[in-house]
Homo-oligomer: A and B are copies of this chain.
Amino acid sequence: MSNDSLTIEHQPLKRCDLFRIRGRVDGETAPRLEQALRRVLENGRYKLVLNLAEVTFLSSAGLRVLITIAKECRRFNRGNLYLAAPNQRVQQVLELAGLDELFKTFPTEVEAVGNF
């Protein structure tokens, strides 16, 4: 496995849960991302910020996770999933999928966290 494999850093804050995602989000690693996010939803927390600054690769398997989790967060207006600091590659992949308008995206994680 190449050494930019997925790492997930989770920082629970009072207002929301911040995740710093690093490396590859692909068919192989996306399940791990989904699991990490789902664990937070299961604790009744539905305000998530994903810092994507250091995501080096994002495939449709990763987007599937983002869409699934964002849907669950938004249900009953109980929360949302914000994206923070996507790098150019990530931004291009989101645009390719027509998702760039659908996720609320902030240039920095502090703006994402501060706008919940």
Contacts and interface: CB of A to CB of B under 8 A. Distances in A.
Interface string A74-116: 0000000000000000000000000000000000011101111
A15 interface: yes
17 contacts: A11-B114, A13-B111, A13-B114, A13-B115, A14-B114, A14-B115, A14-B116, A15-B15, A15-B116, A16-B114, A18-B110, A18-B114, A109-B110, A110-B110, A110-B113, A113-B113, A114-B114
Interface residues of A, number: 13
Interface of A: 11, 13-16, 18, 109-111, 113-116
Given A14-B115, A109-B110, A113-B114, 6 more contacts: A13-B111, A14-B116, A15-B116, A16-B114, A18-B114, A110-B110
Nearest to A115: B14
Contacts of A116: 14-15
Contacts of A111: 11, 13
